[in-house]
Amino acid sequence: MYTITKVKITGLTVLSVVLLFAACKKGPPDGNYCAKVQYQNKGTGKMSTYTIITEIKDNKLVDISFPEEHADKSSVKPVVIPKDGKFTAVTEAGEVYKIQMQGPAEKCIKSTNMIQCKGMSKDGKRCKRYTASKNGLCWQHDRK
């Protein structure tokens, strides 16, 4: 014979479960972050280091806001960010970047005089990329 016990679920119990799952989420919240990015030019062999804005979504790097003169304009293949913040990212064009996450985007914005792009995405929201361009548009929105 089995006994069924009634359990009263309170708002506090539900809130505790929600907070537990939220605390288990790995990585930083979605948004823009400062990162140090190292890149070796395949043609010249020259190593360059940038301190720039990156976009993170679902604990994955999804975009790097390179300076306007940077030749590689292809998108970044999403890559999971490890806890130490050091990883390698590859673009659709095959360029390889060594990345070290540095902290909030504000750290880069102050040091590089970057602003958020003034362009609009297809869904009507403001572009999330950052730019140092005088016209306030990232490489994608500055196409003529």
Question: CA dihedral in degrees (90, 92, 93, 96; nearest 10)?
Answer: 0
Q: What gap in Å lies between CA 47 and CA 134, rounded to an integer? A: 26
Strand partners for 64 = 54
Reading the block at residue 84, the tokens are 């130490």
pLDDT digits (tens, 9 = 90+) for 51-99: 888 889 999 998 888 766 666 777 889 899 999 999 999 988 888 999 9
Domain boundaries, the chain: 31-108
- Cα gap 33→103, rounded to integer Å: 6
**Is residue 21 pLDDT above 60, yes or no?**
no
Structure tokens at 14: 């539900």
Q: Using the predicted structure, report yes or no on whether residue 141 has a pLDDT greater than 80.
A: yes
Q: Output the pTM of the full model.
A: 0.61
C-alpha to C-alpha distance for 90 and 59, rounded to whole angstroms: 16
Burial class (CB in 10 A: 0-12, 13-18, 19+), 39: buried
d(CA 140, CA 131): 10
